[in-house]
Amino acid sequence: DPRQDVTEGTMEERREYAGASSPEQILNFSCELGRQLLQNGAEIYRVEDSLQRLLAAYGYAKAEIFAIPFCIILTIQEGDHNYTKSVRIQTVANNLRRLNELNGLCRTLCRECPPIGESWWRLKQILREPVYPPAVGYLAHGMVASFFTLFWGGTGVDALLAFPCGLLVKLVVTAMRRAQINVFFTDMLACMVLALGPEILLRLGCPIQADRIIIGTIMLLVPGIAITNGMRDVLVGDFLTALTRFAEVVMVALSIAVGVAAAITVTRYAAGLLL
């Protein structure tokens, strides 16, 4: 069983089997593994449990792991010495394939306890694996916007118009992330851009349902996973993490509302001046 009890045997035996890795090496590797888990969409309890099992496997059963969505603080004890390190998570993406491979790596390390150098090599091999090309990401955003427009009652023409709106959302989000702009302004600008096109066409007299197009495209930005994970954190009693996630959800919802309202206000004002 990959989740077998890794605390069997003395700590000295476990460390000898693991290649006598130093506490600093174990600490650095564990923090990086936790960072990658969080960045790729892992739940908080999964990160804490994975790191706890990993450290116990390497002979450091006396460990404290504190994780929230944007930070990990890890402390291990060896005799009278305590080693502590914290890492900050700047961006979070939902790469379920990489997350699955990271989980598999953690379980393998708990079973085999290879030298820490080999563990780093295995981690880097996972991180080097190619991700989806940008063209696939743009295509997915356009198709999702189109299908959600149909789902909310839009016509075929509305779905076709939603496709370029989805492409614009992907373009704005990618550019803002490269510039390291926070999620509030990123989502607000993305919503402004996606709502301007349908609103302008509507003011020009085109027979479209701008509201269906906007709602369908907005679904790309709705933090569904954050809402789900927040409810799960409540159920497991991790209220601090749940409050953090719900605050993120509220901020995203507010940014979406402000962005769409700004686009509608601008187009109505411009139409009033022209007419």
Residue 261: which residues within 8 A CB-CB, separation 6 or more? Answer: none
Q: Report pLDDT for 16.
A: 46
| pLDDT for position 17 | 43
Query: Which stretches of the chain drop beneath a pLDDT of 50?
Result: 1-11, 13-18
